[in-house]
């Protein structure tokens, strides 16, 4: 009888001890819980490099190369909240070597651009901000240099799997050393469609006006365009892309001047390249929440090419 009573008393005690241990273990799990992997990083980056070849078409201008060898690169680093205020720093660089039909180097120019974006973003709907950049271009054959200051506003709208971006601003020659883009303006439109979070299609067009040449007395204008496909390799930070791009710059003088020279040039180019990114797991995430929303307009066709025409 005595043993039976002891057994009956031990069972409730063991039950209470076991219950207490489980409760404490649950508390430890909650305290040591790792933050979710989907938490947005405070900083992210995109770096790209591409090579390609361009095919110029000129109309009675000095820009008579048969092929253009091109190298382009850019880097973007963003700091701030995905939903909130962000500061983004950006650099672009390019080289274009012009070759004749015999494969001999005719001339070349290089360009470098550095700038910053400041914007406020709601990743579910839109982003609004402004940008400021300086670009320097050099015509290697005659040692001339051009410097252009660019400033403007930008807005992005997120609709389903599509992102629409519009930029507009002005351009001013700040070196006054060579033919360059001065007293100018531009409007740029970009549309990105994400077939999957890891596959992106992009189309863009820019129309610009102003003075592209010191002798401009007519109504000069410029146009650039591009189509691009990018594919991310699995969940890795690497992606590759193919791009068709082109530009047209028209420096026509008005009829009353009666000059025989028509400074007009067009180029069509095909580029291939790679990108690496840090901070987000997909192209779509970085477009909506990171450094993929905005980028700078490449000013080389307007600031560098006129010196070749």
Least confident span in 3-17, 79-93, 183-197, 271-285? 3-17
Strands (E), the chain: 43-58, 67-80, 84-99, 105-122, 126-139, 144-159, 162-173, 182-196, 199-211, 221-232, 238-250, 264-278
What's the first-to-final CA gap in the chain, in angstroms?
A: 113
The arithmetic mean of pLDDT across residues 37-63, rounded, is: 81
Q: Looking at the DSSP assignment, which residues form a beta bridge with residue 168? A: 153, 187
Q: Which residue has the higher pLDDT, 133 or 107?
A: 133
**Is pLDDT of 307 > 60?**
no
| C-alpha separations of 233 from 65, 229, 240, 278 in Å | 37, 13, 8, 14
Specify the pLDDT at position 32.
Answer: 36
Specify the pLDDT at position 197.
Answer: 96
CATH class of 43-308: mainly beta
Specify the pLDDT at position 187.
Answer: 97
**Is pLDDT of 78 > 90?**
yes
- Tens digit of each residue's pLDDT (9 = 90 or more) over 80-109: 999 999 999 999 999 988 777 666 666 777
Candidates 224, 219, 218; CA nearest to 301 is 224
The arithmetic mean of pLDDT across residues 167-186, rounded, is: 82
**Is pLDDT of 36 > 70?**
no
Specify the pLDDT at position 261.
Answer: 52
Among 37-41, 208-212, 274-278, the range of highest mean pLDDT: 274-278
Specify the pLDDT at position 1.
Answer: 46
**Three-class secondary structure of residue 55 per DSSP:** strand
Specify the pLDDT at position 143.
Answer: 62
245 contacts: CB under 8 Å, gap ≥ 6 = 224, 225, 226, 227, 268, 269, 271
* Residue boundaries of the structural domains of the chain: 1-33, 43-308
The arithmetic mean of pLDDT across residues 212-240, rounded, is: 83
- Tens digit of each residue's pLDDT (9 = 90 or more) over 230-278: 999 999 999 999 999 999 887 665 555 554 455 677 889 999 999 999 9
Specify the pLDDT at position 159.
Answer: 97
Specify the pLDDT at position 43.
Answer: 95
What is the spatial distance between Cα 158 and Cα 156, in angstroms, rounded to a whole number? 7
The arithmetic mean of pLDDT across residues 22-50, rounded, is: 62
**Three-class secondary structure of residue 197 per DSSP:** coil
């Amino acid at each position: 009888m005595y043993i039976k009573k002891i057994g009956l008393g031990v069972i409730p005690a063991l039950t209470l001890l076991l219950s207490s241990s489980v409760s404490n273990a649950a508390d430890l799990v909650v305290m040591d819980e790792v933050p979710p992997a989907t938490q947005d990083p405070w900083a992210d980056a995109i770096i790209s490099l591409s090579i390609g070849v361009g095919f110029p078409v000129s109309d009675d201008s000095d820009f008579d190369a048969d092929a253009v060898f091109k190298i382009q690169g850019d880097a973007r680093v963003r700091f701030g909240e995905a939903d909130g205020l962000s500061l983004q720093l950006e650099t672009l660089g390019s080289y274009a070597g012009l070759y004749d039909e015999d494969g001999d180097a005719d001339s070349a120019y290089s360009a470098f651009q550095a700038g910053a974006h400041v914007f406020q973003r709601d990743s579910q709907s839109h982003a609004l901000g402004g940008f400021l950049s300086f670009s320097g271009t050099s015509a290697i054959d005659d040692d001339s240099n051009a410097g252009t200051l660019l400033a403007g506003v930008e807005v992005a709208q997120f609709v389903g799997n599509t992102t629409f971006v519009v930029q507009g601003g002005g351009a001013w020659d700040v070196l006054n050393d060579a033919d360059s883009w001065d007293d100018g303006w531009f409007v740029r439109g970009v549309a990105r469609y994400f077939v999957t979070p890891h596959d992106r299609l992009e189309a863009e067009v820019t129309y610009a006006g102003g003075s592209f040449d010191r002798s401009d007395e007519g109504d000069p204008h410029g146009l650039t365009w591009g189509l691009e496909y990018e594919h991310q390799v699995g969940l890795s930070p690497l992606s590759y892309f193919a791009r068709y791009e082109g530009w047209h710059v028209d420096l026509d003088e008005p009829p009353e001047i009666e000059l025989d020279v028509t400074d007009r040039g067009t180029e069509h180019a095909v580029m291939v390249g790679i990108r690496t990114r840090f901070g987000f797991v997909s192209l779509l995430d970085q477009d909506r929440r990171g450094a993929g929303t905005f980028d700078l307009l490449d000013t080389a066709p307007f600031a560098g090419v006129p010196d070749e025409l």
